[in-house]
Amino acid sequence: PGTSGYARIDDFTPSSGDRLVLKGSAAEYFLGALPGAGVPGRGLFHDTDADGVFDAGYDELLAILDSPDALTSTNTIDAAIFV
C-alpha cells in the first residue's frame, strides 16, 4: 500500500462490471465507514494489522468508492482482480 493520500472513485458500479485491481489477496482489505462526516461512499482500507476492523495509525484508507450500488465485500473486494 501507499503511505499517504487516497483515490476517489466516483460512479463505481460493480453491477455494470466495474472491478478493482488490488495487490495481494482479499484478506488484506476491508470496506468501512469513512472517517469524515458528510463524505459520500465507502472506504476501501488496507488491513495492515490483519484484524478486519479500522485501527487508526495502522490501517490505511486507499480509496473512497462512491456507487449507485450497495457495496459489499463480495461485490468489491472478493470480485477484484489480484496481481
Query: In this predicted structure, what is the pLDDT of residue 52?
Result: 85
What size, in residues, is the chain?
83
pLDDT at 1 over 80: no
Q: Enumerate helices (H) and strands (E) in the chain, giving the number of each.
A: 0, 6
- Over residues 70-82, the pLDDT tens digits come to 999 999 999 999 9
Among the ranges given (3-7, 22-26, 57-61), the one the predictor scored with the smallest mean pLDDT: 3-7
pLDDT at 2 over 80: no
pTM of the model: 0.89
Which residues, including other chains, have CB under 8 Å from residue 29's CB and lie 6 or more apart?
22, 44, 45, 46, 47, 62, 77, 80
CA distance 45 to 17: 21
pLDDT at 24 over 80: yes
DSSP letter at 73 equals T
